[in-house]
């Protein structure tokens, strides 16, 4: 059985833990599957926010802070220190945690500890000028305004320079001034490092100078035929068009004439676009329907018989690789990669006999599988108070209580799969 998100998928191979190593499994046919390779890097006095055990420890620490602050022999300064909760990192994780913490304190603990609720303070630290930088500016502005209304101390342009067991030192990036504040709990939700098992593997396969593993478009680790990696432990090393431009031209030029007609190119167009996804981004930006339009535009000719030589072909595609992008290290990407690999493993024998992938640019025949293609489905940012922000494909932005129910429905769907 193959564990993916909240459901099990049969892949035809037995999977079991590999020597107890975190984030690795071994498939009995000899294939290694690497699932997770990054961990939060944080000062020892802070609490991480990555695993289920971290959430349990955070909840326990919050309650302990309230229990201590409720003791009758404490002065007001000691209570302020214990009830000052600091969240480091203004990304989706930090923002969601700060919002949920505010709701937990306001709706639950304030009723259990009414005499000390006025001493509670939540501080959210972010090094850049705004929180949720990866979201639309409308969402960023709404989130910042809501946090201020909720009484959350939002400090952007602030960097943590030191954390002791008593206080946290914060540097204002613009002014350079450093201030120290006492705290009861610090939750760290920014800054990542590589797991030791991944560091060791990367050294063995010649990728020791990287932060994450490099894979090909089929999620196979470069330098190995039997290791696959998905999630935040790896990034796809997408091939560049200009590196393969001569081979692409040769593959399309079936009559070996030294020139390429639009008709010849149309015959391999689908395979080339599948092999190099940056082509689609480039054409979309240029508002062109296909590479055929690009070739015609480069020649200033609209005839189907227009011909281009290798140099003209290079000139037409010279800017394509500028739009190459790495996939974000998110659960959405990892989930889609898991589904993709499970499907590939289930159909490995079938596709070995009847390859379904694109033409091999270097070599003969076709690749066994279609390469992995990520489909962005949008992103959510829960903001507390039963309000959520959503940014979906097509520049569609929704914020408020109704979006919270959309968020509930999405997670409910995955919970019952």
Phi, psi at 121, each rounded to 5°: -145, 130
**CB within 8 Å of 415: residues ≥ 6 apart:** 6
Q: Which of 88, 158, 150 is nearest to 124 (CA)?
A: 88
Query: Do residues 87 and 97 touch, judged by C-beta distance below 8 A?
Result: yes
List the CATH code of the domain at 245-323.
1.10.238
Report the C-alpha gap between 216 and 235 in whole angstroms: 9
What's the pLDDT tens digit per position in 89-129?
Answer: 999 999 999 999 999 999 999 999 999 999 999 999 999 99
What pLDDT is attached to residue 3? 31
The answer to whether residues 139 and 378 touch, using CB atoms and an 8 Å cutoff, is no
Contact 232, 328 (CB under 8 A): no
CA angle 359, 279, 293 (to 5 degrees): 100
**Are 42-190+380-415 and 245-323 equal in CATH topology?**
no
Q: Is the pLDDT of residue 17 over 60?
A: no
pLDDT (0 to 100) of residue 32? 63
Digit-coded pLDDT (tens) for 306-316: 678 888 888 88
- Inter-CA distances, 45 with 162, 350, 407, Å: 10, 53, 33
How many beta carbons lie within 10 A of that of residue 250, not counting itself?
15
Q: So what's the pLDDT on residue 387?
A: 96
Phi, psi (deg, nearest 5) at residue 383:
-115, 10
Report whether pLDDT(211) > 50.
yes
Q: Residue 52 pLDDT more than 80?
A: yes
Q: Which long-range contacts (CB under 8 A, 24 or more apart) does 156-161 make?
A: 156/90, 156/126, 156/128, 156/129, 156/130, 156/131, 157/126, 157/127, 157/128, 157/129, 158/125, 158/126, 158/127, 159/125, 159/127, 160/43, 160/88, 160/125
Q: What is the pLDDT of residue 28?
A: 43
* Mean predicted confidence (pLDDT) in 335-363: 92
Rounded average pLDDT over 261-282: 85
Share of the chain above pLDDT 90, in %: 54
Strands (E), 247-406: 259-261, 307-309, 379-384, 387-392, 396-400
CA distance 48 to 260: 57
Does pLDDT of 245 surpass 80? yes
* Percent helix, percent strand, percent coil in the chain, to nearest 5: 40, 25, 40
Cα–Cα distance between 263 and 274 in angstroms, integer? 18
Q: Mean pLDDT throughout 210-214?
A: 88
pLDDT digits (tens, 9 = 90+) for 129-138: 999 999 999 9
Nearest to 316 by CA among 290, 289, 296, 287: 296
Q: Looking at the predicted structure, is the pLDDT value of residue 356 above 90?
A: yes
Give the whole-angstrom CA distance, residue 311 versus residue 301. 17
Average pLDDT over residues 60-70: 96
pLDDT at 317: 86
Give the model's confidence band at 31: pLDDT under 50 very low, under 70 low, under 90 confident, else very high.
low
Strand, coil or helix: what is 221? strand
pLDDT at 61: 96
Answer yes or no: is pLDDT of 1 > 90: no
Q: Which has more confidence, 9 or 170?
A: 170
Q: What is the pTM of this model?
A: 0.82
Judged against a pLDDT cut of 80, whether residue 415 lies above it is answered with no
Q: Is 171 exposed, middle or buried (0-12, 13-18, 19+ CB in 10 A)?
A: middle
Q: Which tops the pLDDT comparison, 143 or 37?
A: 143
Question: Thinking of the domain 42-190+380-415, which architecture would CATH place it in?
Answer: 3-Layer(bba) Sandwich (3.50)
Least confident interval from 51-65, 116-130, 141-155, 286-300: 286-300
74-88, 142-156, 294-308: range with lowest mean pLDDT: 294-308
CB 296, CB 265: distance < 8 Å:
no
Q: Is the pLDDT of residue 203 over 80?
A: yes
DSSP string, 146-208: HHHHHT-EEEESEEEEEE-SSEEEEEETTT--EEEEE-SEEEE---EEE-HHHHHHHHHTT-T
The residue extents of the domains of the chain are 2-39+194-238+328-353, 42-190+380-415, 245-323
Using 50, 70 and 90 to split pLDDT, how confident is the model at 4? very low
Quick check: 218 pLDDT over 80? yes
pLDDT computed for residue 413 by the predictor: 80
């Amino acid at each position: 059985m193959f564990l993916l998100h909240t459901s099990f998928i049969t892949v035809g191979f037995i999977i079991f833990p590999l020597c107890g190593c975190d984030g690795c499994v071994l498939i009995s046919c000899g294939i290694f599957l690497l699932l997770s390779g990054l961990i939060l890097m944080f000062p020892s006095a802070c609490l991480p926010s990555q695993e289920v055990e971290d959430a349990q420890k955070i909840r326990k620490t919050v309650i302990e802070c309230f229990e201590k602050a409720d003791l009758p022999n404490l002065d007001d300064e000691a209570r302020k220190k214990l009830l000052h909760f600091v969240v480091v990192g203004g990304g989706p994780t930090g923002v969601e945690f700060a919002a949920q913490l505010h709701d937990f304190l306001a709706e639950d603990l304030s009723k259990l500890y009414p005499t000390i609720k006025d001493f509670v303070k939540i501080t959210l630290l972010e090094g850049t000028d705004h929180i949720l930088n990866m979201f639309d500016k409308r969402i960023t502005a709404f989130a910042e305004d809501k946090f201020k209304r909720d009484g959350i101390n939002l400090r952007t342009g602030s960097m943590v320079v030191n954390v002791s067991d008593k206080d946290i030192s914060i540097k204002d990036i613009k002014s350079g001034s450093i201030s120290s504040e006492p705290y009861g709990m610090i939750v760290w939700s920014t800054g990542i490092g590589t797991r030791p098992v991944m560091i060791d593997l990367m050294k063995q396969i010649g990728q020791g100078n990287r932060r994450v593993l490099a894979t090909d478009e089929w999620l196979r680790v470069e330098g190995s035929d039997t290791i696959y990696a998905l999630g935040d432990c790896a990034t796809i090393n997408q091939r560049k068009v200009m590196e393969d431009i001569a081979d692409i031209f040769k593959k399309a030029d079936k009559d070996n004439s030294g020139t390429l007609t639009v008709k010849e190119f149309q015959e391999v167009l689908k395979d080339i676009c599948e092999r190099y996804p940056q082509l689609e981004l480039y054409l979309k930006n240029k508002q062109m329907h296909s590479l055929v339009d690009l070739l015609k535009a480069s020649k200033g000719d609209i005839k189907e018989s227009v011909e281009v030589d290798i140099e003209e072909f290079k000139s037409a595609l010279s800017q394509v690789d500028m739009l190459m992008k790495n996939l974000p290290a998110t659960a959405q990407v990892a989930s889609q990669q898991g589904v993709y690999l499970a499907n590939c493993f289930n159909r490995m024998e079938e596709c070995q006999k009847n390859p379904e992938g694109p033409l091999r640019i270097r070599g003969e025949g076709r690749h066994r599988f279609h390469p992995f293609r990520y489909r962005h489905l949008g992103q959510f940012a829960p903001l507390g108070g039963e309000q959520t922000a959503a940014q979906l494909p097509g520049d569609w932005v929704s914020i408020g209580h109704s979006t919270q129910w959309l968020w509930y429905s999405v997670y409910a769907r995955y919970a019952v799969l």
